[in-house]
Amino acid sequence: MTIARRTAIRLSDGRELVYFDETTGAARDQADTRHLPPPPPTSQLRLDPLVDEWVAVAAHRQTRTFLPPTNACPLCPSTPEFASEIPAPDYDVVVFENQFPSFSDRVKPGEIDELTELVPVRPGVGRCEVVCFTSDHNTSFGALPPARVRTVLDALADRTTEMSTLPGVAQVFPFENRGIEIGVTLSHPHGQIYAYPMVPPRTRAMLAAAVRHAARSGGRNLYADVLEAERKAQVRVVGANEHWTAYVPAASRWPFEVQLAPHRQVPDIPALNDAERDAFGPLYLDVLRRFDGLFGMPMPYISAWHQAVVGEGRELGYLHLQLFSIRRAADKLKFLAGSESAMGAFVNDIVPETAAQLLRDVP
């Protein structure tokens, strides 16, 4: 299966929007009728010298849309009564530049070089896009058919390829936030893609661990070895098929966390072949439905694609999806309080082997 048609247009403020259609009949010549201000300048990156990490400061995001009513949802198709971010009256999958981006290529002239001798500042050059999975406001990713999941995956592959070529981009990160408990500000089923101008802290830590493992194992890939061990042990495996395995990490930080990995080492989504792309959807949908079935209610979650970096260290990457929830019981959430937020030291309330068994037991 391949995408039937890819159509790119420009919104009234110059931002790019791309339709990914499963059929060839839909017209995509609708114009954006809104009168929008120009997109904001990019954020600042400020280095925290105490931990050697870059922090993005994007003050314009303070005014982003927050939980609008359904009839004013900016991710629904446009109607005669309301012009949304998508000019068309219907769509399959749509990707567009975020109106309130954390990173962009719109650099404001006269950026300062440093705040203090130890805190350099540079533009947050990159790109942020929104991915709408469906035009149906009242559904969820877990309710999509496998064919639509394949379309989403192909759209993410397309965007990863394009965004990886942008100047200054170090890593492309697709993700979905689901549920107001997570902090979602738009309830329409959607995800986002960040093209980072730096290698994020978790990826830096993973690369460092991969380098150490390769040095002591004669060049073996760390994630490949972890996946092989989990497939052999089976105790934490939630589901699998010919091309993918879904398992609870042995040292998971979150009450319920599952990683889905292809059996073949690939750096990113574009490198997946047709069989691997087709096989992903049924397994992922099964895991999502098990999440929702745990407590008989929609599970808040973060779904995060870990792809290889663009530059140095790319050969160490192993594509995988990390899915996790902050819900630890039907009436309890895991809050990132003192130890987690201040020290980055996680304490998990659920034994990973127990979490895997509970997920497997969901009908």
Contact between 294 and 359 (Cβ < 8 Å): yes
Query: Across the chain, what does the average pLDDT equal?
Result: 96
Question: Which of 42-56, 96-110, 132-146, 217-231 shows the lowest mean pLDDT across its residues?
Answer: 96-110
CATH architecture assigned to 5-198? 2-Layer Sandwich (3.30)
- Give ranges for CATH 3.30.428.10 in the chain: 5-198, 202-361
Average confidence (pLDDT) over 307-328: 98
pLDDT of the residue at 69? 94
Question: Which of 111-125, 209-223, 263-277, 294-308 shows the lowest mean pLDDT across its residues?
Answer: 111-125
Average confidence (pLDDT) over 146-173: 98
Q: What is the residue whose two structure tokens read 């663009």?
A: 310
Closest to 259 (Cα-Cα) out of 319, 204, 181, 202: 319
How many Å apart are CA 63 and CA 32, to the nearest integer? 21
pLDDT > 70: what percent of the chain? 98
Contact between 175 and 196 (Cβ < 8 Å): no
- Prediction pTM value: 0.97
Q: What is the residue whose two structure tokens read 């978790």?
A: 202
How many Å apart are CA 253 and CA 198, to the nearest integer? 24
CATH 3.30.428.10 fits 202-361, yes or no: yes
Check whether 3 has a pLDDT greater than 70: no
Structure tokens at 105: 């290529």
How many Å apart are CA 241 and CA 233, to the nearest integer? 16
pLDDT of the residue at 288? 98
Check whether 201 has a pLDDT greater than 70: yes
Asked if 190 is an active-site residue, the reply is yes
Q: Per the residue annotation, which of 188, 190, 213, 320 is the catalytic one?
A: 190
Check whether 40 has a pLDDT greater than 50: yes
Name the burial class of residue 153, with classes exposed (0-12), middle (13-18) and buried (19+) by CB atoms within 10 angstroms of its CB. Answer: buried
Average confidence (pLDDT) over 6-32: 95
Residue 72 CB partners (closer than 8 Å, separation 6+): 82
How many Å apart are CA 200 and CA 318, to the nearest integer? 16
Structure tokens at 109: 């002239």
337-352 pLDDT tens trace: 999 999 999 999 999 9
pLDDT > 90: what percent of the chain? 93
Contact between 322 and 304 (Cβ < 8 Å): yes
Q: In what order do the strands lie in the sheet with 53-57?
A: 53-57, 44-48, 119-123, 114-116
Structure tokens at 126: 């990159």
Q: In which band, very low, low, confident or very high, does the pLDDT at 161 lie, cut at 50, 70 and 90?
A: very high
How many Å apart are CA 102 and CA 48, to the nearest integer? 18
Check whether 112 has a pLDDT greater than 80: no
How many alpha carbons fall within 13 Å on the CB side of residue 179? 17
pLDDT of the residue at 1? 47
Positive or negative, the CA dihedral 228, 232, 233, 235 is: positive
